Every structure is written in structure tokens, then in C-alpha cells.
Amino acid sequence: MSRGGIGLLGLLVSLALVGALWMMDARQNGPTSQSAQRAETEAQQATAGINFSQAALQLEAFHAQSGTYVGAALPPSFGVTLGRADAASYCLQSGTGTAVQHLVGPGGQPAAGGC
């Protein structure tokens, strides 16, 4: 084998090793790692909590004026949908897919799942 062939082979082996190490690190610290997924879930829960608080204030103001939650509407900017509303309670929903959360109010706490 010539000297140029050994250099090329060494370069290919080095690239393969670097690629393998990079893939191993990506599994531990990349966007699909458990810690990254857990942080994303926690951030979605915190955002949903803030959105639920804003929407609940809007609904309480509506209830104070009309005596019921029926007919209340929330602007899309809240990031929350009004799943149901009756005279004495409501259910707010936020998120998509497996990250759906809901809050039954008044006075409820965010919980996993839809209304």
C-alpha cells in the first residue's frame, strides 16, 4: 500500500470514529434525550399554567357581568380553548398530542388530558 493510501484510510477511520462519538453524545444530550424531552414537557406545563390563569381571569370577569359562563369566548392569543362552559363551571384545554392539559374551573388545577 502506498503512503497516500494509508493517509486516506486513516482519514476515513478518523471520520467514522468522530461520527460514532457524535451519535453517542447526541443520544445523551441531543433533542431526543430524556432530559431534553423532560425540559420541554415542563416548559409546556408552565406555559399552559400561565395561559390558564389569563383565561380564567377573563372568564371570571365574564361571569361577574352575566352570572354564567355560557356564551363566554376567549381570544386565540390566550393559547387556550374553552372546551365547555355551563352556568357554574368551565373547562379550559391547552396543548396538542400527548401534551394536552385541561383545567376545570373555577379554582381548579391544571391536569393531564383533555376536557
Range of the domain at 15: 1-30
The model's pLDDT over 15-63, given as tens digits with 9 standing for 90+, comes to 788 877 777 776 677 666 777 778 877 887 788 788 888 899 999 999 9
Asked if residue 67 and residue 44 are part of one domain, the reply reads yes
Edge-to-edge, what's the strand order for the sheet holding 101-105? 81-85, 90-94, 101-105, 111-112
Asked if residue 59 and residue 11 are part of one domain, the reply reads no
Asked if residue 74 and residue 47 are part of one domain, the reply reads yes
Number of folded domains that form the chain: 2
Residue type, 47: T
Asked if residue 53 and residue 25 are part of one domain, the reply reads no
**pTM of the entire predicted model:** 0.62
